[in-house]
Amino acid sequence: MVTSVEMPTGRTRSGTSVRIGPVIEQRERRRATTRNGLSLPPGPGFSLDRLAGFRREQLPWMMRATARRWPGVAYLGVLGRHLYLVSDPELVRQVLVTDGRKVDKGEALRAANIVLGEGLITARRQLHLPRRRLVNPAFAHARMAGYSTGMVDAARAADARWRDGEHVDLAREMSRLTLDIIGRTVLGSDLDAQWQHVGKELTLALRGWEAMMVPGGAWYLKLPLEAPQRFWAAADNLHAVVRRILAVDTGGESVVDEMRRARDNGAALDDAALHDETMNLLLAGHETTALALTWAFWLLSKHPGEAAALRESLADALGDRDAGYGDLRELHRAYAVVAETLRLFPPAWILEREAEQDLTLGEWVAPAGSTVLASQFVLHRDPRFWPEPDAFRPERWLDADGRFSEENPGVPRGVWYPFGAGTRICIGESFAWTEAVLALAVLARRWEIQVDPGHRMALHAAITLRPARGLPGVLRLSD
């Protein structure tokens, strides 16, 4: 039940809490307690206000309230689907890692094949491993130094474009930036020249993908209505962009070039596979990091003390220079800001798996065919593991000497997983850290966003967790 809407509230030791959602109390209601002879874990029953909980703005808070009320495993029966929400770190690890062979990507995600083709994101387990072996080398740690040049150049281009006092939607700016980075590093092609076109088509394709994931979505997208037709046109246009890029083999150093050269025991990516993997990277690699940077700028705008501390640390580490790959190991506070942003607003906020066989989850059994959910948003803000879970405190990632480590918060494994875990862990994890930290180091050092006073920040939770109405404000050169 939704009891109130909370805006950034509550002074905490280190500043304002960044709860930007409703306070939801979950109450148990009468519903079936068994299914196919198996006992069902407790969970909320059907009610009208629960349906309201499925609004995109409230969904993450609803999941969190459910996990608080029924920790461990909670059952949600929604429109004929059987969902098991796991919220203990051991169970999260079990589903994503140790029982990885008993689960596959969920049905809703696989429906996205129509747009993405058969690539890493949605690939069935049998196809996934050989594919992953062929794509992995392009994302090896040793390749990051090469990609970092494109990342810094794209951030510098944004810096050169921006004007003091300019009114922008920072979410859009970050989307342009990460698209530029994907162009330079992944595709080896200048996407910035056509960013408005490609950016718009990507947004439409992502929204179509989201529509496909809700029950009845695939059916809706077949209707002869304007929105579905725009979606199909956007998907076709993106495939055409990818085809044009792949038509030229530059023999360069991009991810695509590396994928072309990849061999694993004589196997290689054929043309169709190369196309689908490129499409997957374009979609997966662009919006996620753009969102991380957007949320980071928003959090810094709400916490001027943290923004000043970040600028000071960057000035100490870099002097007058722009950041480069070799500086990364000294940019501890920038890493801490990125980590704290990914904790509070994980761009991939929930993971879905379908049980291929019966799964024992603690004292419960999720029968084959059930859907198991593990939400980063829930675990990343769980008060059992994080003091002041809703507060923005980058220092929780720094040790006494101000050095960053993901180990510093001291949380058990399975609590912190912005990039997933197990065999389906994000292939772009190192890439994303490098990109986000370097972009922040170049841009947050000189710029801040003065968010429009009338702007009400709210979540829009779909495949990714994004600000519902972008991030409108004025760019200011910092002193």
SS3 360: strand
CA atoms of 377 and 250, how far apart (whole Å)? 41
Dihedral angle over CA of 110, 116, 117, 118, nearest 10: -60
Under the criterion CB under 6 A, does residue 345 sit at the interface with ligand HEM? no
Q: Please tell me the distance from the alpha carbon of residue 460 to that of residue 67, in angstroms, as a whole number.
A: 20
How many residues touch ligand HEM under the rule CB under 6 A: the total is 23
The residue range among 18-26, 198-206, 276-284, 315-323 that interacts with ligand HEM, by the rule CB under 6 A, is: 276-284
Q: Are 375 and 85 in contact (CB under 8 A)?
A: yes
Q: Helix %, strand %, coil % for the chain, to 5?
A: 50, 15, 35
- One residue of 108, 121, 205, 471 binding ligand HEM per CB under 6 A: 121
Span near ligand HEM by CB under 6 A; candidates 42-50, 224-232, 280-288, 379-387: 280-288
Taking CB under 6 A as the criterion, the residue among 132, 156, 403, 469 binding ligand HEM is 132
Binding mask 403-422 for ligand HEM (x = CB under 6 A): ---------------xxx--
Chosen residue from 26, 289, 301, 370 binding ligand HEM by CB under 6 A? 289
Diameter of the chain by CA atoms? 68
CB of 31 to ligand HEM, least distance (A): 29
From candidates 112, 259, 348, 465, binder to ligand HEM by CB under 6 A: 348
Q: Which helix (H) or strand (E) holds 376?
A: helix 376-380
Rounded-to-integer distance, Cα 338 and Cα 292, Å: 7
The C-alpha atoms of residue 390 and residue 329 are separated, in whole angstroms, by 28
- Angle, nearest 10°, between helix axes 304-318 and 429-443? 90
CA distance 419 to 433: 10
Q: Which is nearer to ligand HEM, 50 or 381 (CB)?
A: 381
In angstroms, what is the minimal distance from the CB of 455 to ligand HEM?
23
Cβ 426 to ligand HEM shortest distance, Å: 3
What character string, x for contact with ligand HEM (CB under 6 A) and - otherwise, covers 419-448?
xx---x-xxx--xx----------------
* Closest CB to ligand HEM among residues 2, 355: 355
Closest C-alpha among 70, 24, 73, 69 to residue 51? 24
Q: Which residues bind ligand HEM (CB under 6 A)?
A: 120-121, 132, 186, 280-281, 284-285, 288-289, 292, 347-348, 351, 418-420, 424, 426-428, 431-432
